[in-house]
């Protein structure tokens, strides 16, 4: 039998993971990428001796990456090393309270009792329930195609659905957390997990209480060399499996005939393929690559996840009070989300996230200095004046950090750059600059996210943060696995 051809549109992490899976299945795989480099949102900024991960900074579930190396028969150590980070985040509250979030339920339970006055055992019970939820319902929703009848007829799926409790679906994450904890700070800390898929804790269902399991039970990890090492490892493994990459070559159209995929058009030339996998945002895939405006319009009816305003500050000194991950909470969290999702603007007291990889590896910044990645959740781009919003936000961040850390933070900034929703869209092709595709703010969001295959065109598949099961590194890897499995099944039949 002659070798079959696959084209992957985009070299985000899901695109590269899908390319590796198809190459292992025996496809001849070509990846076409608009940018000059692989990785999409997971890329690197280097400036004046400082290294900054441009996008994601939190790494959980490393087995999604190591599994690809195992499947390919390549020792993972040759390309990728990572270490466990026992402190997932240091939290700063406006009332002066501070919490070290240990990735150990007993230690975190003690910490929340001592620092917040939380009831003994409440964290342990919460995380046990979070684990149970993830391992029963979560794995069904995340590891299966929700769009195929066969999924719902499996005995394991039917059994898992029996444990679905009413508040998981009908109540919000905030309501779920208020029942679990007695202090406002503990509720706020656990509400924050809604932002891991760009959602609003006051709208997203209680089901999202499964997210803390990934971080606080399973643990957080740091890739040696920073998050960019994930991109580099995938790229090297793909090359080793024979995948061909074409950079600076955007795909212009997806070709089909009688509803069967024929290939793509790149720079006016036709590239034939039996399988096309789009890692580009699903809205742009329909709007531009398939020119199906009706379908594209249906997709944009779903609310987008939040975006972000990001500052990359090279700091001329060290801040011993800070760790790898740090959160400075807003004092009015609910209003902050109302501003982001309802009013399309920023709150005057923003929640500020700071990631500093030089805390883990000194060579991420010049000696004695630190590389600060600062992220504030922002609305997706709806035409706001981002220059004005960014300048106002910068001043508020500096005021907040300087007050809480009791030092002049601005005086320590040596070098600076930024990212906003417009740049996120133009650099990574993410519609409206959203970080995680569509939001999970409705009960039906998981079912409305686009499937990993096309029901109209045989041979067309979708992976990445804008399709099932959603955004964030672990889910992007899962989408690539779903695509790999679907392709294998579809092509075994032929
Ligand atoms: C600032 C920020 C912070 C984040 N923080 C975290 C975090 O801490 N943890 C976490 O897990 N996740 C985080 N995320 C989300 C995470 O980065 C994404 O979910 C994930 O990287 C998306 O990967 P993807 O495979 O969907 O591809 P993307 O990264 O979206 O890449 C898609 C690629 O397709 C290319 N492309 C688009 N159209 C075409 C075309 N027509 N032809 C050719 N190529 C095309 C683009 O150039 C791009 O390279 C963050 C994201 C951002 C931006």
Q: What is the pLDDT of residues 333-374, one digit of tens each?
A: 999 999 999 999 999 999 999 999 999 999 999 999 999 999
> How far is the centre of ligand 1, averaged over its atoms, from the C-alpha of 38 (Å)?
10
> How far is the centre of ligand 1, averaged over its atoms, from the C-alpha of 17 (Å)?
13
Which tens digits make up the pLDDT trace of 96-139?
A: 999 999 999 999 999 999 999 999 999 999 999 999 989 888 77
Radius of gyration of the chain (CA): 22
Residue 143 above 90 pLDDT? no
Which tens digits make up the pLDDT trace of 282-292?
A: 999 999 999 99
User: What percent of the chain has a predicted confidence (pLDDT) above 90?
Assistant: 86
Q: Is 88 in the pocket of ligand 1 (CB under 6 A)?
A: no
3-state secondary structure of 342: helix
Which tens digits make up the pLDDT trace of 366-381?
A: 999 999 999 999 999 9
269's CB contacts (< 8 A; 6+ apart) are none
151 close to 157: Cβ distance less than 8 angstroms? yes
Give CA–CA dist 85/88, Å, rounded.
Answer: 7
Question: For the chain, first and last CA: distance in Å?
Answer: 11
> What is the reported pLDDT for 291?
96
Q: Is 15 in the pocket of ligand 1 (CB under 6 A)?
A: yes
* pTM as predicted: 0.95
380 close to 386: Cβ distance less than 8 angstroms? no
> What is the reported pLDDT for 153?
63
Which tens digits make up the pLDDT trace of 157-178?
A: 667 666 666 666 679 999 999 9
Which tens digits make up the pLDDT trace of 432-446?
A: 999 998 888 877 777
3-state secondary structure of 471: coil
Atom of ligand 1 nearest to the CA of 310: 1
> Which of these, 254, 158, 230, 93, lies nearest to 262 by C-alpha position?
254
Query: What residue owns the CA closest to ligand 1's atom 46?
Result: 428
Residue 147 above 90 pLDDT? no
> What is the reported pLDDT for 380?
96
Query: What residue owns the CA closest to ligand 1's atom 13?
Result: 56
Please give the mean pLDDT across all residues of the chain: 94
> What is the reported pLDDT for 5?
98
- The full DSSP string for 263-302 is EEEETTEEEE-SEEEE-S-HHHIIIIIS--HHHHHHHTTS
Q: Is 38 in the pocket of ligand 1 (CB under 6 A)?
A: no
> Which of these, 55, 458, 435, lies nearest to 281 by C-alpha position?
435
> What is the reported pLDDT for 140?
75
Order of strands across the sheet that contains 251-257 = 251-257, 260-266, 269-272
Name which CATH class applies to 5-44+63-81+224-302+449-493: alpha beta
Which tens digits make up the pLDDT trace of 61-72?
A: 999 999 999 999
Alpha helical stretches, state H, 406-464: 421-428, 445-448
- Residue 221 pLDDT grade (very low, low, confident, very high; cuts 50, 70, 90): very high
Give CA–CA dist 109/91, Å, rounded.
Answer: 15
Domain residue ranges in the chain: 5-44+63-81+224-302+449-493, 105-218
> How far is the centre of ligand 1, averaged over its atoms, from the C-alpha of 58 (Å)?
14
Query: What residue owns the CA closest to ligand 1's atom 50?
Result: 56
Which tens digits make up the pLDDT trace of 174-197?
A: 999 999 999 999 999 999 999 999
> How far is the centre of ligand 1, averaged over its atoms, from the C-alpha of 264 (Å)?
21
Paired with 460 in beta bridges are 276
Which tens digits make up the pLDDT trace of 77-92?
A: 989 999 999 999 999 9
Mean pLDDT for 234-247 is 98
Residue 148 above 80 pLDDT? no
Q: Is 98 in the pocket of ligand 1 (CB under 6 A)?
A: no
Residue 447 above 80 pLDDT? no
Q: Is 220 in the pocket of ligand 1 (CB under 6 A)?
A: no
> What is the reported pLDDT for 448?
81
Which residue of 8, 12, 434 sits with most ligand 1 atoms within 8 Å of its CB, as the best mutation to test the pocket? 12
- Assigned token pair, 30: 């070509």
Decide yes or no: CATH 1.10.10 for domain 105-218. no
Give CA–CA dist 13/234, Å, rounded.
Answer: 7
């Amino acid at each position: 039998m002659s070798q079959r051809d696959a084209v992957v549109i985009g070299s985000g992490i899901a695109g590269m993971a899908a390319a590796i899976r198809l190459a292992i299945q025996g496809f001849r795989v070509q990846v076409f990428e608009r940018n000059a480099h692989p990785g999409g949102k997971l890329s690197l900024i280097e400036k004046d001796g400082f290294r900054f991960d441009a996008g994601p900074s939190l790494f959980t579930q490393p087995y999604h990456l190591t599994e690809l190396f195992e499947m390919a028969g390549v020792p993972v150590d040759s390309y990728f090393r990572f270490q466990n980070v026992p402190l997932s985040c240091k939290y700063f509250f406006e009332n002066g309270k501070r919490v070290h979030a240990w990735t150990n339920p007993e230690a975190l339970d003690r910490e929340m009792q001592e620092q917040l006055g939380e009831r003994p055992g409440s964290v342990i019970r919460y995380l046990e329930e979070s684990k149970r939820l993830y391992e029963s319902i979560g794995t069904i929703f995340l590891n299966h195609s929700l769009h195929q009848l066969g999924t719902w007829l499996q005995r394991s799926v039917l059994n898992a659905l029996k444990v679905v409790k009413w508040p998981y679906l009908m109540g919000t994450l905030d309501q779920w957390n208020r029942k679990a904890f007695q202090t406002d700070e503990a509720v706020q800390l656990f509400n924050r997990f809604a932002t891991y898929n760009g959602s609003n804790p006051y709208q997203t269902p209680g089901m999202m209480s499964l997210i803390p399991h990934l971080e606080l039970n399973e643990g957080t990890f740091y890739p040696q060399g920073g998050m960019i090492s994930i991109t580099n490892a995938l790229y090297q493994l793909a090359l080793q499996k024979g995948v061909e990459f074409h950079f600076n070559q955007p795909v212009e159209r997806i070709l089909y005939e009688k509803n069967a995929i024929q290939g793509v058009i790149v720079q006016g030339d036709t590239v034939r393929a039996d399988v096309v996998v789009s890692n580009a945002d699903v809205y742009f895939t329909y709007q531009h690559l398939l020119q199906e405006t009706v379908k594209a319009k249906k997709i944009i009816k779903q609310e987008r996840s939040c975006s972000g305003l990001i500052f990359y500050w090279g700091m001329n000194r060290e801040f011993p009070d800070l760790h790898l991950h740090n959160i400075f909470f807003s004092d009015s969290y609910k209003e902050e989300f109302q501003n982001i999702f309802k009013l399309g603007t920023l709150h005057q007291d923003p929640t500020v996230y700071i990631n500093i990889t030089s805390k883990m590896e000194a060579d991420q910044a010049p000696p004695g200095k630190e590389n600060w990645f600062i992220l504030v959740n922002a609305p997706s781009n709806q035409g706001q004046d981002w220059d004005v919003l960014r300048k106002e936000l910068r001043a508020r961040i500096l005021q907040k950090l300087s007050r809480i850390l009791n030092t002049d933070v601005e005086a320590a900034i040596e070098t600076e750059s930024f990212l906003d929703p417009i740049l996120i869209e133009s650099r990574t092709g993410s519609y409206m600059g959203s970080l995680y595709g569509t939001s999970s703010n409705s009960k039906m969001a998981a079912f409305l996210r686009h499937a990993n295959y096309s029901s109209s065109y045989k041979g067309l598949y979708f992976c990445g943060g804008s399709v099932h099961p959603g955004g964030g590194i672990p889910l992007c890897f899962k989408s690539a696995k779903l695509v790999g499995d679907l392709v294998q099944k579809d092509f075994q039949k032929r």
